[in-house]
Amino acid sequence: MLAITKSVALQGLNGYLVSIQIDIANGIPDFQIVGLPDTSVKESKERVKTAIKNSNIEFLSRKIIVNLSPANTKKEGSMFDLPIAIGILIANGNIRNYKLNKILEETAFIGELSLNGKIEKTKGILPICIEAKKLGIKRIIIPKQNIEEVGVLQDLEILPASTLIEVTLFLNGKKQIIREKATSIRLK
């Protein structure tokens, strides 16, 4: 099954959308990440698999291919862990919601996963959120530890999450994540 999530990356001061496309199929178990990932992105395979398992979610041994698009732009950092994990859980059927397509269309995910499923603080979250808004993203799920950095932004629904399971429950419609909005800066 195919699943697509979104993230935002920076190239200099400009942001661009990254489409994280995940395909899970039967076959010899394998986990590949393509689309010019750097070493930290390639290492996300182990972080993601372990975080899913340690969140008490069944992780089946199957053929998993993750494509980070656009494929001609180098992807750096561990911030793609969360959108990769969410894509895998959607493709695997762990996340199901009749509103899911609409949610995914409007939402970007940012965050490194620890091995226990905790979402770790990410560098550069303020410019990432500013660029996400410019790129038409309406909602962004970020590490809870980063919320103070982006608390002044307006016109972007910022959802701070602590764990992979919290985001999974939110996407399944079983839990709300407290929406954080601010009143100081208005994005154009």
Q: Which two tokens stand for residue 171?
A: 């996407």
Distance between CA 179 and CA 82 in Å, rounded? Answer: 18
Asked whether 24 and 62 are in contact (CB, 8 A), the reply is yes
Q: Which domains does the chain have, with CATH numbers?
A: 2-186 (3.30.230.10)
Q: Is the pLDDT of residue 182 over 60?
A: no
Instruction: Give the residue-averaged pLDDT of 69-91.
Output: 95
Residue in this structure with the two tokens 């182990």, named with its chain if needed: 46
Phi, psi of 71 (to 5 degrees): -75, -15
Residue in this structure with the two tokens 């494509």, named with its chain if needed: 67
Within 10 A of 120 (CB to CB), how many other CB atoms are there?
A: 16
Q: What is the pLDDT of residues 119-173, one digit of tens each?
A: 999 999 999 999 999 999 999 999 999 998 998 888 899 999 999 999 999 999 9
When computed from its CA atoms, the radius of gyration of the chain, rounded to whole angstroms, is 15
Q: Using pLDDT thresholds of 50, 70 and 90, give the confidence band for residue 55.
A: very high
Q: What pLDDT is stored for residue 187 in this prediction?
A: 52
Q: What pLDDT is stored for residue 185 in this prediction?
A: 47
Distance between CA 95 and CA 88 in Å, rounded? Answer: 9
What is the reported pTM? 0.93
- C-alpha to C-alpha distances, 181 to 79, 86, 122, 139, 185, nearest whole angstrom: 22, 24, 19, 11, 10
Q: Beta 112-113 vs 185-186: how paired, if at all?
A: unpaired
